[in-house]
Amino acid sequence: MKFLSKGQNVFLTGTMILIALVFQYFHLSILADAFLWVSTFLAGSPIFKKAFRFVFLKVISIELLVTIAVIGAFFIGEFLEAAAVSFLFLLGSYLEARTLEKTRSSLKLLLDQAPLEARIIKNGEQQMIAAENVNLKDILLIQSGEKIPADGKVIEGDAFVNEAAITGEPLPVRKTADDKVFSGAILDNGYLKIEAEKVGEDTTFSKILQLVEEAQDTKAKSQRFIEKFAVYYTPAIILLSILVFIFTKDIRLSLTFLVISCPGALVISAPVSIVAGIGNGAKQGILIKGGEMTEKAAKLNVIAFDKTGTLTMGKPQVVAIQAIGLSQNELVEVTAKLESLSEHPLGRAIVADAEKKGILLDEDLKDFRVHKGMGVSATIHHANWIVGNRELLKVNQVEISKETEQYIQNEENKGRTAVMAACGQELKGIISISDQVRPEAAETVKQLIANGKKVIMLTGDNERTASFVANEIGIDEYYASLLPEQKVQKLKELQSKGFKVGMVGDGINDTPAIATADVGIAMGGAGTDAAMETADIVLMSDRMEKLPYSLNLARATTRNMKQNLFFACLVVALLLVGVLIKWVYLASGMMLHELSVLIVILNAIRLLKYNDHYRKGVQS
């Protein structure tokens, strides 16, 4: 009904059937029948309309069988069966529809983050224009906080650019003359003048949008077994019912045949298993978007991971402190005081570490300065301090011993960034910052491999960082310095070899790969809305160790669904034979029919108690 949503209709009709049963118990037949009639009308209206619409299209659908069965049940006075059949079919339709909501919303989320405006320089004057109107060779000026509207080359300026939306690199990258920049990246601080080299649909960001759209379009919904079965089942049952009447002249027998054959258990066999599996996953912080995705997840044999924010935490953190001539806390305190006035993400990581240690940063700074691309400096207690990179130390003539230089190189070989602090011309320490590997990542990969999965890593980070993370986690195969379209290409190469691939990611840059994979998996807690909406499975609790569980749960759910389908078909076949040989009559047939529905539901409920076999390395 138009005035009710499908969910409201399911709830209302189910409630009315329960009320009718209460009235029947107290022998209030008139009231019971009234509630059953109204329930049948409410639940059946969308089914009836769809059935007649298919008839006009010359298609014999399962909705038509349900419609005939309901009319037949009314004709022989089985009002409860008519209401129950309508309700069960409506419930199955509702459960399926719920899984298909928002399938296209990820595209809107991506579009919302596309650059809209551009500041161009013509004849020495600045003009604001729409990003789509930027032409090749235009000179663009980008200031702090602005999005870069086109792919291009830096011709002037010095700034840090956040390219996380494009490459997945967690830390802003310094850009100077002749460096390349991408559309959709955000300038953190400073300014840049760039010459546009790719505009409009040719930009990197536009290609990301196109890849997501294409990948979603190729994910055509596969026909369910019930729909395929109904192509033959529905017309066969109608024909057989007519033949039964022709040969027996027994209208009650033919209608009983039709009503008994109505696929009550068959209709709910798949949805009830899927709902139970999804319910189990929800308790564990896992969102599986429907039955189709459940079936696909059960068949995966390759799991591809993004690195930043997926295998790693996605947040720069202090991982090592090397103090020289003072304690570690003293080094952190002084460094954090200087960085407290900086907007650089490395500085924020140091301040966060100081706060975690309970170090107070209430000391006044004097002569604070930001040295573009190098670091910061200030005076504390009449002592001149600098915090930054090698270049800043070199400018201030701070010497680094061979021993200390070797330590710094070792840290960088681990994929870490070394932030150095000096007082005057004396080095006082090194603070190493890294995007830390998730503590559960190694065990997760181990479990996936133990369950027969091939595990690879696809990342936009550099080779050194990728190698370090892969070795630490236990991944033998990885690909570094990949742009989003290159990740997609890697996945397509695997798929062309017959592999069923799952892609695990968290950011906007991951969405093309997530959408291209057979099953996209998003880290929900740290992931972007775009990745979560594009994904087929979302780890809502942001706990990676739930990934093996989710895949094993998908296997168990798929197996349970097949069991229900087989059982439901077997029951229908036996009941039909029983009716024809007059071993099954209306009363006994109704009882067996409803019992089969109950058994299907009870079998599906077992999924709610499915436990974490994956922790023991047991495939489910």
For the chain, what are the domain ranges? 114-215, 314-436
Token pair 């209401």 is at which residue? 83
> Measured between alpha carbons, how far is 76 from 5 in angstroms, rounded to an integer?
31
Is residue 63 a contact partner of residue 51, using CB atoms and an 8 Å limit? yes
DSSP 610: -
Distances in Å between the Cα of 575 and the Cα atoms of 259, 455, 566, 581, 603 are: 11, 48, 14, 10, 20
pLDDT value at 93 more than 80:
no
Higher pLDDT among residues 579 and 34, named by residue: 34
What would the pLDDT profile of 362-384 be if each residue is shown by its tens digit? 667 888 888 876 889 999 888 89
Tell me whether residue 382 is exposed, middle or buried, using C-beta atoms within 10 angstroms of its C-beta: 0 to 12, 13 to 18, 19 or more.
exposed
Please compute the mean of the pLDDT values over residues 432-460 and round it to a whole number. 90
pLDDT value at 90 more than 70:
yes
> Measured between alpha carbons, how far is 232 from 240 in angstroms, rounded to an integer?
12
Q: Specify the pLDDT at position 266.
A: 74
Q: How confident is the model at residue 448 (pLDDT cuts 50, 70, 90)?
A: very high
pLDDT value at 103 more than 60:
no
Mean pLDDT of the chain: 80
HSE value, Cβ hemisphere, 13 Å, CA-based, for 24? 14
- The phi, psi pair for 607, rounded to 5°, reads -65, -25
Which tokens sit at 220? 């055509």
- The closest of 97, 264, 225, 96 to 562, measured between CA atoms, is 225
Instruction: Give the CA radius of gyration of the chain.
Output: 32
Identify the weakest region by mean pLDDT among 39-48, 122-131, 359-368, 421-430. 359-368
- Tell me which amino acid residue 171 is: L
**DSSP tally for the chain: helices H, then strands E:** 21, 20
Which tokens sit at 452? 């027969």
Q: How confident is the model at residue 477 (pLDDT cuts 50, 70, 90)?
A: very high
Please compute the mean of the pLDDT values over residues 159-176 and round it to a whole number. 74
| Angle, CA 609 vertex, CA 607 and CA 614 arms, to 5° | 85
Q: List residues bridging with 430 in a β-sheet.
A: 322, 420
| Angle, CA 149 vertex, CA 147 and CA 153 arms, to 5° | 105
Please compute the mean of the pLDDT values over residues 16-43 and round it to a whole number. 90
Please compute the mean of the pLDDT values over residues 487-500 and round it to a whole number. 94
Q: How many residues does the chain have?
A: 620
Which tokens sit at 336? 């954090």
pLDDT value at 224 more than 60:
no
Is residue 617 a contact partner of residue 281, using CB atoms and an 8 Å limit? no
Q: Which CATH number applies to 114-215?
A: 2.70.150.10
Q: Specify the pLDDT at position 231.
A: 66
Q: Specify the pLDDT at position 526.
A: 47
Q: For 144-250, where are the E strands, in sequence order?
A: 151-162, 173-175, 180-181, 186-198
pLDDT value at 529 more than 60:
no
What would the pLDDT profile of 384-436 be if each residue is shown by its tens digit? 999 988 888 989 999 889 899 899 888 878 878 788 999 999 999 999 988 88
Please compute the mean of the pLDDT values over residues 546-566 and round it to a whole number. 90
Which tokens sit at 411? 């840290």
- The closest of 164, 171, 166 to 465, measured between CA atoms, is 171
> Measured between alpha carbons, how far is 523 from 311 in angstroms, rounded to an integer?
10
Q: How confident is the model at residue 207 (pLDDT cuts 50, 70, 90)?
A: low
Q: In what order do the strands lie in the sheet with 312-323?
A: 312-323, 426-437, 417-423, 383-388, 375-380, 366-371
Distances in Å between the Cα of 592 and the Cα atoms of 272, 460, 546 are: 19, 59, 40
Which tokens sit at 25? 């118990």
Indicate the angle between helix axes 225-248 and 62-75, nearest 10 degrees: 40
Higher pLDDT among residues 319 and 63, named by residue: 319
Please compute the mean of the pLDDT values over residues 464-488 and round it to a whole number. 85
- The closest of 342, 333, 414, 443 to 380, measured between CA atoms, is 333
What would the pLDDT profile of 272-313 be if each residue is shown by its tens digit? 787 778 777 767 767 777 777 888 999 999 999 988 778 888
Which tokens sit at 108? 């809107």
Positive/negative CA dihedral, 440, 441, 443, 449:
positive
Q: Specify the pLDDT at position 499.
A: 95
User: Is the whole model's pTM more than 0.85, yes or no?
Assistant: no
> At the fourth CATH level, which superfamily is domain 314-436?
Calcium-transporting ATPase, cytoplasmic domain N (3.40.1110.10)
SS3 state of residue 110: helix
Q: How confident is the model at residue 503 (pLDDT cuts 50, 70, 90)?
A: very high
Is residue 354 a contact partner of residue 330, using CB atoms and an 8 Å limit? no
Is residue 91 a contact partner of residue 271, using CB atoms and an 8 Å limit? yes
Residues with a catalytic annotation lie at 306
Q: Specify the pLDDT at position 169.
A: 57
